[in-house]
Amino acid sequence: MKRRGAPDRIAAARAAVALVARHGDLAGRAVLEMSDDTGQHAAEFRRLGAACLVVTPGRAGHTAPAARDTVLAEPYWLPVGDRRVDVCFLADTLEHTPDPAGLLDEMIRVTRPGGLVCLSYPVRPERRDTVTRLVRSRRDVTPVELRPRRWDLLLAVRGLRAAPAGNPLVVLRRAR
């Protein structure tokens, strides 16, 4: 599989963050991004005025990050207190986690009531099924948007709006 080049990743990050911004002004908001990527999402959140902390998974072979406001940590134990961020954004990391439900629990833990929990993941049937099960089983979040690449993703999670092509992005609002 061919990896996307920098211009493609920047355009994808810009589109994903713009979709999140449709659910509220990001200026002055606290954002936590979990990503194996190169920080394009964080750059976009900052461009829109958000304060953004990037958490890169700490796995064997990873070195300490050099970018500002970036920490090396396990996504199951985020270095953030309860209900401290307005947006918790997971960028294409779900496919690397052995416990997606535990990861979602941790994302919800750090998100303030009324805040957004956003999941971006590559289009694969097993990922679609995992995210669908996670979303349907939760009572502490409400789905507000899905950006699918394929129409079957829209059918998998009913009642959500579709947007143009790109990796799926599920936006959930944390219950008060």
In this prediction, residues 55-78 reach a mean pLDDT of 73
SS3 content of the chain, % helix, strand, coil (to 5): 30, 25, 40
Residue 145, phi then psi, degrees to nearest 5: -165, 150
Residue 162 has pLDDT above 50, yes or no: no
Domain ranges in the chain are 6-174
Third-level CATH fold of 6-174: Rossmann fold (3.40.50)
pLDDT digits (tens, 9 = 90+) for 80-90: 999 999 999 98
DSSP bridge partners of 35: 91
Give the DSSP H/E element, type plus range, for residue 10. helix 6-21
Distances (CA, A) of 9 to 6, 12, 38, 81: 5, 5, 9, 30
Structure tokens at 159: 């009642």
pLDDT digits (tens, 9 = 90+) for 9-63: 788 888 888 888 988 999 999 999 988 666 789 999 999 999 999 988 766 455 5
* pLDDT at res. 141: 81
* CB half-sphere exposure, 115, CA atoms < 13 A: 22
